[in-house]
A = this chain, B = another copy of it.
Amino acid sequence: MRGAVLLAAALLAADGADGAVGPSRAAQAGASASAVASDVLAPVLVSAPEWQRMREEGKRYPLFAGEQARVARSVRAAMAEGVVVPQPKDPGGGYTHEQHKRNYLVIQGAGTLYRLTGDRAYADFARDLLLAYARLYPTLGPHPAGRGQIPGRLFWQTLNDSVWLVHAIQGYDAIRETLDPRDRRRVDALFRRAARFLSDETPENFNRIHNHATWAVAGVGMTGYVLRDREMVEKALLGLSRDGEAGFLKQIDDLFSPDGYYEEGPYYQRYALAPFVIFANAIARNEPQRKIFAHKDGVLLKAVDALIQSSYAGYFFPINDAMLDKGLDTAELVAAIAIVYARSGDDRLLSIAQRQGRTVLTPEGLGVAEALAAGRAEPYRFRSMMLRDGAEGNGGGLAILREGGEDGQALVMKNTSQGMGHGHFDRLNWLFYDNGQRVVTDYGAARFLNVEAKSGGTYLPENSSWAKQTIAHNTLVVDERSHFDGDWKRGEAHAPTPLLFDVADGVQIVSARMAGAYDGVAFTRTQALVAHPELPFPVVVDLLRVDGAGPARYDLPLHFNGHVMTVGFEASRNIEERPVLGEANGYQHLWVDADSEASDRTRSLTWLLDGRFYTYRFGASAPTRALLVESGANDPEFNLRREPALVRRMDGRTDAAFFSVLEPHGAYDGTAETVHGADSRIRGVVHVRGEDADVIVLTLASGAILALAVADDADAGRAHRVAADGRTYAWTGAYARFDARAGDDGSNRPRTEEMP
C-alpha cells in the first residue's frame, strides 16, 4: 500500500509540465536528492528498500550472485569500450541493431548494478548512454532499413524500439535520483519522446491487440510510472482513448484464453509473456488496488504454466511461426518464473529456474535464488491437458497427451484457431515426441533469426511458400491446396470443434472436427495414446475421417524424424533423378524419393531415431498411394532444412477415412553394440467402419487383440455396436477400448470396458 500512496503523490507531482520536478531543480549535481524530491525521483519499478535488501542478501544465494557477476562482466566490458550509440542503419542482426540491443541491456544492467553495489560509476555510465540517446533520438526519422508499415527510430521495427524502452526505463528508474537536474530533464525528455513515438504517434501499433502492442504499452506504461505521468499509464492500460477498447487490460482479455493459451502459440507466447508479466509486476507494485494478477481469473499466472507445459525436452512445441531452438531457457521466461513464483510460491517453478541457471536481479529473482538455495525445488509436473484457445475459450484448443514423464511420450494435437498472421494452415495437425526426441515433427518457421545473410534474419520467402502451407504439416490437404487457401484472415473465422478429451488409465484420447478449411469439406480426427502390457511403450492410434464435397485428392503427410530402416511396401524409387511433387502451396518444395501404386492394404514404414525404432502402420478406406518425399526442392538459396515425409494420397473419393498406428519399439545401443526389439510387436492393424462408429483393431505379436472404438457422436449415454473381423464390439459412450487374449475365437465377445 505504501507504494501505491507514494505513486499517487508522485503522479500528482508529475502532473505539471515536462520536467517540473520542483525541489530537485535546486539540488546540486551529485548531491543526494532531498526528501521532498525523492517522492518524484525515487525508484518505483523496484523500491529503494527492495534494492537495499537485494544489495544485502543477494550475495548469499548462488543463483542471484552468479547472475549479478554475469551482468557485471557484460556491463564492465561495455564500460571499457565507452559510450557507443551509433546512427541507426542496419536491419536485424546488423551492427547498429545489435549495438542498440546491447545498449538497452547495459542501461538496465548498469542501473541495477548501481543499486546492488552503490558504485556510482555504473550510474554514470547508464546516464552517459542515456544522454547520448537524448542527443541522437530527436534527430531521427524513420529507420533507413525500416520494415513494415511502421519503421522504428532506433531499430528497423517499432517492436524493437518498444523493447528498448522496456529495458532502458528500468535502468533509468534505478539511477534517475542520481542525475543532476539538467541531465535529468534531458533524459526525461528522451523517454517522453520515445513513449510519445510509441503511443500517440503510432496508434496503429499501440492500439492493436497484438504482442507488438504489448511491448509498446509495457514500455509506455512503465515510463509513465517512472515519470509520474498518470495519463501515460492510463493510455498504456486502457488504450490511447483511455476507454478500455485497447491497451494492456484489453490485450490480456483478448490474447489469452481462459487456460492461459496465447493465440499465436508458444513461440510468440514466450516473447509476449515478458512485457505482460513485467508490466503487470510494475502495475502490481505501483497500483496494487488494480489486482492485475487476478485479472481474468488470474490468467497471467496460468499463462506461465501453459507455456511451460507447451514444451518437450526443454523446447517449445514449434507450432505456427516458431524457431525450433527456443525453449524453457529463453530469457523472457526467466523473468516470468521469478514474478510468478513470487505470487504463487509453487516450488515446482524452481526446477525450471534451476534448469535455466539464471534469474533476474529483482526482488522476485532474489526470492527464487533464496528458495533454490534452501533446496526447495520440486520437479515440474508435466501433465496431459487441454489448453482451450480463444478469448472465451471457445476457439478450439491445444491438446497435450503425455505418458511416461517428462522425456516419455507426448502427443500434441493442434486443434487451435488460426493464430493471426503467424499462424500456420494446419488444423488438426499433430506432433509426437518420445525418448527425448522430436519423432513426428513440425517444420516450425523458415527463418534464421537475426542472421543477416538470410533475408536480414527475418522470415524467409520459404516461410510462406513452405513452412506455413498445409503440406508442410501432418494434416489433411485437399486438392493440393492449403487450408483457407492460405489466407489467414479467412482462417481467423473458423475454429475446430473439440469433440472429446479424456485421460484414462491405458487410454488417453482427443478428438476434434474441422469445417470451413475447404468449402463443403469437414474432417474429424481422433488420436489416442494407448498402452498395453505387451507393448514396451504406448502407441499412437490416429483416425481421420473426411466428409467431402465431391471427388477430390486427399493427401495426408507425416513428417517424421529419423533414418528409414524398412519401407514396408512396394515403391518405385527415384534414384537417378529426383522429380518435384507439385507446383504450388508447398508441393513445389518436395522432392519425390519413392512413389507406390494405389493399394488398399495396410502398409508400414520403420525408421530409427536415437536408438529407438518407430513403426508406422497406415491404411485407409480406399486405395491410397504412399510417397516418400523430402523438403528442399525449389530452394535456390539453400534456405530449407531437408527433412523426410511420407504422403498418403487418395484420389477421386468424396468421403474417406485414414487410420494409422505409430509404435515406438526396441533399442539400438551403439555403445554396447546391441539391438533388441527391432521388430514391431504389432502383427496387423484393421479398420472397420460401423453404422455410427469406427473400430481400429490391433493384433499384437502374441495374437492378443487391442481395439479402439470411436463413435461419431461423443454423447456419453449412447450405445454402439460394430461387427469387425468376426467379433462384435459393443459399448456405450464416445469411445471404448477392448482387449482380447490370443486364441479367443470370433464367437467369444472380447472383454469389454465401457467408458464414459
Q: Which residue of the partner chain B has the closest CB to A591?
A: B578
Is the CB–CB distance between A675 and B98 below 8 Å? Answer: yes
Q: Tell me if A579 is interfacial: C-beta within 8 Å of chain B.
A: yes
Is the CB–CB distance between A565 and B678 below 8 Å? Answer: no
Q: Tell me if A563 is interfacial: C-beta within 8 Å of chain B.
A: yes
Q: Which residue of the partner chain B has the closest CB to A568?
A: B453
B interface footprint on A455-487 (CB within 8 Å = 1, 0 otherwise) = 001000000000000000000000000000000
Copies in the complex: 2
Q: Which residue of the partner chain B has the closest CB to A565?
A: B453
Whole-angstrom CA separation of A675 from B457 in the bound complex: 10
Chain B contacts for A564, CB-based, 8 A: 638
Chain B contacts for A573, CB-based, 8 A: 636
Q: Tell me if A330 is interfacial: C-beta within 8 Å of chain B.
A: yes
Q: Tell me if A420 is interfacial: C-beta within 8 Å of chain B.
A: no
Is the CB–CB distance between B577 and A451 below 8 Å? Answer: no
Q: Which residue of the partner chain B has the closest CB to A668?
A: B451
Is the CB–CB distance between A325 and B576 below 8 Å? Answer: no
Whole-angstrom CA separation of A462 from B593 in the bound complex: 17
Q: Tell me if A449 is interfacial: C-beta within 8 Å of chain B.
A: yes
B interface footprint on A665-677 (CB within 8 Å = 1, 0 otherwise) = 0001011111110
Is the CB–CB distance between A580 and B577 below 8 Å? Answer: yes
Of the candidates A101, A329, A668, the one having the most CB atoms from chain B within 10 angstroms of its own CB is: A668
CB under 8 Å from chain B, chain A span 584-643 = 591, 593, 606, 608, 628, 630, 633-638, 641-642
Chain B contacts for A675, CB-based, 8 A: 93, 98, 449-452, 457
Q: Tell me if A702 is interfacial: C-beta within 8 Å of chain B.
A: no
- Known contacts A565-B454, A636-B573, A678-B453; A670 and B326 CB within 8 A of each other: yes
Q: Tell me if A35 is interfacial: C-beta within 8 Å of chain B.
A: no
Q: Tell me if A448 is interfacial: C-beta within 8 Å of chain B.
A: yes
Chain B contacts for A606, CB-based, 8 A: 453
Is the CB–CB distance between A633 and B576 below 8 Å? Answer: yes
Cβ contact of A567, chosen from B565, B567, B638, B676, cutoff 8 A: B638
Q: Tell me if A80 is interfacial: C-beta within 8 Å of chain B.
A: no
Is the CB–CB distance between B101 and A674 below 8 Å? Answer: yes
Q: Tell me if A222 is interfacial: C-beta within 8 Å of chain B.
A: no
With both chains docked as a complex, state the minimum distance between the C-beta of A290 and any C-beta of chain B, in angstroms: 31
Whole-angstrom CA separation of A578 from B580 in the bound complex: 9
Q: Which residue of the partner chain B has the closest CB to A630?
A: B642
Is the CB–CB distance between A578 and B575 below 8 Å? Answer: no
Of the candidates A573, A638, A668, A672, the one having the most CB atoms from chain B within 10 angstroms of its own CB is: A638
Cβ contact of A671, chosen from B331, B448, B452, B454, cutoff 8 A: B331
Is the CB–CB distance between B575 and A634 below 8 Å? Answer: yes
Q: Tell me if A87 is interfacial: C-beta within 8 Å of chain B.
A: no
Q: Tell me if A566 is interfacial: C-beta within 8 Å of chain B.
A: yes
Is the CB–CB distance between B576 and A634 below 8 Å? Answer: yes
Q: Which residue of the partner chain B has the closest CB to A331?
A: B672
With both chains docked as a complex, state the minimum distance between the C-beta of A74 and any C-beta of chain B, in angstroms: 11
With both chains docked as a complex, state the minimum distance between the C-beta of A201 and any C-beta of chain B, in angstroms: 27
Q: Tell me if A299 is interfacial: C-beta within 8 Å of chain B.
A: no
Q: Tell me if A323 is interfacial: C-beta within 8 Å of chain B.
A: yes
B interface footprint on A315-354 (CB within 8 Å = 1, 0 otherwise) = 0000000010111011100000000000000000000000
With both chains docked as a complex, state the minimum distance between the C-beta of A330 and any C-beta of chain B, in angstroms: 6
Is the CB–CB distance between B577 and A577 below 8 Å? Answer: yes
With both chains docked as a complex, state the minimum distance between the C-beta of A450 and any C-beta of chain B, in angstroms: 4
With both chains docked as a complex, state the minimum distance between the C-beta of A281 and any C-beta of chain B, in angstroms: 21
With both chains docked as a complex, state the minimum distance between the C-beta of A663 and any C-beta of chain B, in angstroms: 15
Whole-angstrom CA separation of A634 from B575 in the bound complex: 4
Q: Which residue of the partner chain B has the closest CB to A672?
A: B331
Is the CB–CB distance between B576 and A98 below 8 Å? Answer: no
Is the CB–CB distance between A563 and B641 below 8 Å? Answer: yes
Whole-angstrom CA separation of A633 from B449 in the bound complex: 32
Is the CB–CB distance between A579 and B580 below 8 Å? Answer: no
Whole-angstrom CA separation of A686 from B422 in the bound complex: 46
- Known contacts A670-B325, A676-B98, A678-B93; A575 and B636 CB within 8 A of each other: yes
Closest 7 CB pairs of A and B: A325-B670, A564-B638, A578-B578, A450-B675, A453-B566, A453-B565, A575-B634
Given A450-B673, A451-B675, A575-B634, 6 further pairs, Cβ under 8 A: A98-B674, A450-B674, A453-B606, A577-B578, A578-B578, A628-B638
